[in-house]
Amino acid sequence: MLILSGKEVSKKIKEELKKEIDSYLAQGLRKPGLTVILVGNDPASQIYVRRKRETAENIGINSICVTLPQNTTEEELVETIKRFNEDENIDGILVQLPLPSHINTHRIIETIRPDKDVDGFHPENVGRLATGIGRGIIPCTPLGIWLMLKHYDIDVFGKDVVVVGASNIVGKPMSLVFLKDERATVTVCHKNTKDLSFHTKKADILVVAVGKPNLITADMVKEGVVVIDVGINRLESGKIVGDVDFENVKEKSYAITPVPGGVGPMTVVSLLVNTLHLYRLRHGFPPHPFAQI
Active site residues: 52, 96, 119
- Positions in the binding site for ligand GUN (CB under 6 A): 94-97, 119, 140-141, 169, 267
Question: If residue 241 lies in a helix (H) or strand (E), which one and from where to where?
Answer: strand 240-241
**What is d(CA 9, CA 159) in angstroms, rounded to the nearest whole number?**
23
Q: Which residue is nearest to ligand GUN (CB)?
A: 97
**Nearest to ligand GUN of 169, 207 (CB atom):** 169
**Residue 92 CB, nearest distance to ligand GUN (Å)?**
11
**What is d(CA 256, CA 216) in angstroms, rounded to the nearest whole number?**
12
**Residue 97 CB, nearest distance to ligand GUN (Å)?**
4
Contact 257, 2 (CB under 8 A): no
**Residue 170 CB, nearest distance to ligand GUN (Å)?**
8
Give the number of other Cβ atoms within 10 Å of residue 284's Cβ. Answer: 6
**Residue 274 CB, nearest distance to ligand GUN (Å)?**
10
Contact 55, 270 (CB under 8 A): no
SS3 state of residue 39: strand
**Nearest to ligand GUN of 36, 225 (CB atom):** 36
**Nearest to ligand GUN of 197, 260 (CB atom):** 260
**Residue 125 CB, nearest distance to ligand GUN (Å)?**
13
Task: Give backbone dihedrals phi and psi of 137, rounded to 5 degrees, phi first.
Answer: -115, 130
End-to-end CA distance of the chain: 26
- Order of strands, edge to edge, in the sheet holding 92-95? 62-68, 33-39, 92-95
**Residue 5 CB, nearest distance to ligand GUN (Å)?**
20
Cα–Cα nearest to 148, from 262, 278, 15, 289? 262
Contact 135, 167 (CB under 8 A): no
SS3 state of residue 246: helix
**What is d(CA 6, CA 265) in angstroms, rounded to the nearest whole number?**
6
**Nearest to ligand GUN of 162, 169 (CB atom):** 169
**Nearest to ligand GUN of 175, 267 (CB atom):** 267
Rg (CA), the chain: 19
**Nearest to ligand GUN of 72, 267 (CB atom):** 267
Q: Please give the DSSP secondary-structure letter assigned to residue 116.
A: G
Task: Give backbone dihedrals phi and psi of 141, rounded to 5 degrees, phi first.
Answer: -70, -50
